[in-house]
Structure 1
Amino acid sequence: MAVAAGSVALLGVSGWFITASALAGLAGPLAAGAFNYLLPAAIIRLCAILRTGGRYAERVIGHDAALGALARLRPKIFAGIMAAPVKFALGLSVGDASSRMVQDVDLLEARFVRIPVPWGLAVGVLTGMVILVPAGIAPALATLAILGITIGCGWLLACLSAEAGRNVQRVTARLKDRYATLVSSASELRAYGLENWAAQEIARESEALLKAQKQLTAWGGWFALLQATAAGLAAMLAMALSAHQFLPLAAMAALGAAMTVDCAGPFLRGLEAQGGWAEAAHRLERLLEAPTVSTGIAVRPAERPEIRFLRFGAVLVPGSVTGLTGRSGIGKTTILEKLVGLRHDDDVTILLDRWSLPVIDPADLRRAFAYAPQDAAMLAGSVRDNLRLAAGEATDDLLWQALEDAALADTIRALPQGLDTWIGENGAVLSGGERRRLSLARAYLRAAPWLLLDEPTAGLDQATEQRVVERLRARLAASGQGAIIVSHRPAPLALCTALITLHESGAEVLGQSAEGPSRLGGHSLHISPAV
């Protein structure tokens, strides 16, 4: 408001001062010598200082408030993604999620900063009226009419250009998403000689963005033309309607009218950006309003719960080790993901103790399991960072013990900085087998009654696999943990006291009892720990 008032007052006083100085000069040396230029010069300096100070305060206060709001918004967006059902969260690609977190949130900064703009426009209009009214009511009313028409035309242009603004946001997000996808596949693209194809894909998306930006810029030209035309018309009309007044007063009326209409500039620029703001807000609202995972009915399983597979007629008691096998795609990984709450058990095929999985709070459910998935993600951080995902307060001794049990300690010791070695994007510094064993070590660090291992030795040579299996055997015996091991390889399955083989029509359960293995079909099998 101070900026608008200072700008109008500065332009009005400056115009009056220039005009009066010119008239005094034309009147002759006597009038020029008697002309008091010190007072208007001081007023001009005061208005300039007020405008500069107001603009500085506006930037500091406005941007501080906007950046504070955005700093609080980003964690909420991330929390919204994490709290949403896995199907929704996994539907967001890395590029799409990052563009919303960065691009869309940054765009809203300008919207927050422009919240006071209507108030600034109001102050500018009031100040303009103070300058215009001495020249007559007619120039003041004419200026208000032109200002109203200008704002109305601005709303119309905003409606017409909104789709162009939205399209720029969409195309920009698509370009970022495509870029992130291709960069993450750089090794495969090089291996198959597809670098040129990838570059053409980026060029195609860039061309689409350029086209969208040109369309939006063209609409911006119409906004600029509207403002310039309105300011010129207001000045000429105010001067014409105050022509019967003293010439300096008429000149001040023209300058006041132009400045009053010019105060609508920030408001018009806000209208110009409405389309982009609306699209950014819509994309963010989809994340903030995404359905959250149900927290169940606050039931809590026992500290060492049994696992009951209703479809297989199998009960896994704490401390037992069960193998899960079957052809690829039969649903082995799905069972593990249901247990840790990454998939919803709609048909209620699994119970933890006597409770179905959907009624258990996800936090309580996941506390029961330590999970090493088949394709574990790695943070772009150090070995220590990745291990501590499972146990944030774990000491170095515990980290090294987990690495020893995963047959990875010697490899990590050989790295330049040991536990503090940077392993790159998704563990790029490590081999596939090393990443799998790092994931296994991470699961070992979680103090949970059940260990879920999905293909823990896939990709390992026979000697390394044997070391991993033997150390897993010793760890299970020492900790008393139960385990469900998904594998096609005989070495890890040899640890199991029971084997569940999935097939299209059901499952075959082979249990190990004191009398030896027994094959059960359609009957309940109580699987106990190995003796």
Structure 2
Amino acid sequence: MSKSPLSKLVAEQRRRQAGPLIIAAVAAAVVGAASTALLGLSGWFITGAALAGAAGLATAQAFNVLLPSATIRLLAILRTVARYGERLQGHAAALDALAAIRPRLFAALAAAPPREALAVSRGEAAARLVQDVDAVETRFVRLSAPWGAGAGVGMAIALAALAGVWPALAILTAIAVHLVLARALTRRLSAPAGAAIQAAAGELKEALAAFAAAAPELKVYGAQGPALDRIAALGDRLDALKVRAARAQGILGLSEGALTGLAVAVVLALAAPASAPLAALAALAAVMAIEAAAPIARAFEQDGAAEAAGQRLDALLRHAPSDTASAKAVRPALRLQDLDLPPGSRLALTGPTGSGKTTRLEQLLGLRSAPAGAFALDGEDGANLSPAALRPAFAYAPQDAALLAGTVRENLKLAAPAATDEALWAALDDAALADRVRALPQGLDTWLGEAGERLSGGERRRLSLARALLRDAPWLLLDEPTEGLDAATEALVVARLDARLRETGQGLVLVSHRRAPLALCERSMSVETVSRPAGSAISRPMIEPAKP
């Protein structure tokens, strides 16, 4: 049976983090052995010292105090240092692995088929990138747990064997019963609750993200009540599941405590024929053995959440990102249905709202699936080209400008990470936005807020246009680039865009309902909807000269 994509990725990261993980495992083994030996020796020492004191002055003076006390101190120091090393190395390996997994997950999401990728909401994507990946962290952090548990249990059995074979066998039996019982209880109680919590938390985050994005509309229409009720319902469901999980943990803790008490009683009874100090040592070793195995039992509790997170992550990770391909030609020709567009051509897509003009642009970019014959790039049908093969040929300014919560510079450099400040200012100038940015407190380094909220709608649209102009692509795709602009600003944007296209020889495919930008194009294609199966527009072209 082949491994899931997440299992392969986790295995890859385990190989890369082998050094820290080995150190963490060794340190965990030292912690387990030292902790058990420390408590057992302490019990033996206290009991032996008490009996020696009760036996009289001569016996007390003959009792060796220095060696056991020095050993106890050594074990305490060793346990502290090893525990620090285990936490440091184990969590460092886990965090490094998560830092590698998240970009891979994001790349897989971007490589998913358009229909699937566009169906993932922002809240759901955030939940998977943060919450689900955090659940995977347990796979790394608990890798050292078996080593610590094994060393602790082994030391406990060795110490109990000093009091006899039967006490040692009793501890071994108690550990086996503890693990079997913990596994059964977690499968029945904790694992379902953990999986449900993982899903409920994701739903709550998704709803919060959706309602936060629609906050102005909710306020304007007085619809905060239903939104708050929905959030409250999801929150109550999550709280109820957490209570259920807490009860399951309580039952597990109760069973562990009862088993510990029973194990101590049985070990004491079996070790009675030995001396009292050895019996105390064996009893405390039983306590430490069950405590050493506790991390394994607690790991069983996390299996439900980890498995649920793994299933959701596998659904995305199965889409392997492909290497970014270059356009087949420096300036590839474009063909839209029966219309051939040589490099540098300018075409306007017109038609009524909802006819599929934006869909056509998204098909060119590989954001939506294109039917056979819808378009061709350099003679090859677009339906046969991957998004990685299509996107280098196009720069895109969408109708709804998407801006990051970052600076002007960061938003612009999405299109050209290596762009110089001179290139950034030139693009802003061609988008008629340079003067506005210069007036900002920190210029290019001004923080724009969430989704560019510190800019007006028209300014966000022009920043998106400047970003598209920065991309060195043969074709420029613009969707309503001047919507929301006043006439003077629109005329300035159109004039500067015309000058830039003449200078660069870049081709243009434009969607607009406004007359001014349509004057940029020498040809137009009227997109009229024939049918829209499965949410996709199918159109037929009507080719005519563009109207000024």
Confirm or deny a common fold (TM above 0.5).
Answer: yes
Q: Distance in 2 between matches of 1:66 and 1:405?
A: 47
Which structure shows the bigger proportion of residues in helix conformation?
A: 2
Aligned twin of 1:138: 166
**Higher mean C-alpha deviation, range 298-307 or range 321-330:** 298-307
Report the CA distance between 1:137 and its aligned residue: 1.6
Residue 251 of structure 2 is matched in structure 1 by 222
- Written as runs of structure 1 = structure 2, the 5 A alignment for 1:224-373 is 224-290=253-319, 292=321, 301-310=328-337, 313-373=338-398
TM-score by length of 1: 0.91
Candidates 443, 448, 458, aligned match of 2:468: 443
Q: Please tell me whether the aligned partners of residues 85 and 291 of structure 1 are also in contact (alpha carbons under 8 angstroms).
A: no
**Whole-Å Cα distance in 1 between the matches of residues 311 and 544 of structure 2?**
54
Counterpart of 1:484 in structure 2 is 509
Q: Conserved in 2, the CA contact under 8 Å of 1:321 and 1:483?
A: yes
- Aligned to 1:172, the other structure's residue is in SS state helix
Offset, 1:156: 0.3
- Find the structure with the greater CA-based Rg: 1
Instruction: Go from structure 1 to structure 2 and tell me whether the alpha carbon gap of 1:300 and 1:426 turns closer, same or farther (over 3 Å shift).
Output: closer
Shift of 1:459: 1.4
Aligned to 2:123: 95
| Structure 1 position 304, deviation (Å) | 2.0
2:536 equivalent in structure 1: none
Aligned partner letter, 1:335: R
2:198 to 165, 169, 180: 169
User: What does 1:402-417 correspond to in 2, within 5 Å?
Assistant: 402-417=427-442
Q: 1:300 and 1:251, CA in 2 relative to 1: closer, same or farther beyond 3 A?
A: closer
User: Cα distance, 1:299 vs. partner?
Assistant: 9.2
Letter in 1 for 2:210: T
Change (3 A) 1:468 1:238: same
Q: Could you tell me whether the CA contact under 8 Å between 2:33 and 2:152 is conserved in 1? A: yes
Residue 138 (structure 2) pairs with residue 106 (structure 1)? no
CA gap of 1:488–1:52, structure 2 versus 1, over 3 A, is: same
Inter-CA distance 207–135: structure 2 relative to 1 (3 Å threshold): same
Identity %: 50
User: In the TM superposition, what are the counterparts of 1:418-457 in structure 2 within 5 Å?
Assistant: 418-457=443-482
When residues 294 and 55 of structure 1 are mapped into structure 2, their CA distance, relative to the original with a 3 A threshold, is closer
Please say if 1:213 is aligned against 2:237: no
Superposed CA offset, 1:280-323 (max 9, x none): 2222222222365798xx8953322222223xx21112222211
- Per-residue deviation, 1:28: 2.5
Q: Distance in 2 between matches of 1:250 and 1:367?
A: 76
| 1:457-472 equivalence runs, <5 A | 457-472=482-497
How many residue pairs get aligned? The number is 511
Residues 259, 474 of structure 1: CA spacing in aligned structure 2 closer, same or farther, 3 A cutoff?
A: closer
Q: 1:24 & 1:484 partners in 2: Cα distance?
A: 96
Once the two structures are superposed, residues 355-391 of structure 1 have per-residue CA deviations (whole angstroms, 9 ceiling, x without a partner) of 1114345344222222111112111122222222222
Indicate if the aligned counterparts of 2:142 and 2:299 stay in contact, CA closer than 8 A: yes
After superposition, the C-alpha distances for 1:396-415 in whole angstroms (9 at most, x for unaligned) are 33322222222222222222
Report the alpha carbon displacement of residue 508 of structure 1 after superposing the two structures with TM.
5.0
Does the C-alpha gap of structure 1 residues 319 and 363 become closer, same or farther in structure 2, counting only changes over 3 Å? same
Any gaps of 5 or more consecutive residues in structure 2? 1-28, 531-538
Distance 1:433 1:33, change over 3 A: same
Cα distance, 1:48–1:504 mapped onto 2, change above 3 Å:
closer
- Equivalent residue for 1:10, pick from 19, 34, 38: 38
- Offset, 1:460: 1.6
Determine helix, strand or coil for the equivalent of 1:50. Answer: helix
Evaluate the alpha carbon distance shift between residue 67 and residue 292 of structure 1 in structure 2; reply closer, same or farther with a 3 A threshold: closer
Q: CA 1:285–1:25 in 2, change beyond 3 Å: closer, same or farther?
A: same
Aligned to 1:525: none
What is the aligned partner in structure 2 of residue 63 from structure 1? 91
- Whether contact under 8 Å (2:415, 2:467) holds in the other structure is yes
TM-score normalised per structure 2: 0.88
Which residue among 202, 209, 214 is the counterpart of 2:231?
202
**Secondary structure of 1:135's match?**
coil
Partner of 1:523: none
AA matched with 2:499: A
Q: In 2, distance between residues paired with 1:242 and 1:510?
A: 98
Q: Which moved more, 1:426-435 or 1:107-116?
A: 107-116
Separation (CA, whole Å) in 2 of partners of 1:261 and 1:441: 64
**1:509 matched to 2:542:** yes
Q: Runs of 5+ in structure 1 lacking a partner?
A: 518-529
- Check 1:384–1:119 CA distance in 2 against 1; reply closer, same or farther (3 A cut): closer
Per-residue CA deviations over 1:26-79 (Å, capped at 9, x if unaligned) read 223332233222222112112212221221221122122222222221221122
Q: Which residue of 2 aligns with 1:120?
A: 148
Q: CA offsets per residue over residues 258-297 of structure 1, 9 Å max, x none?
A: 22222211111111222122222222222222365798xx
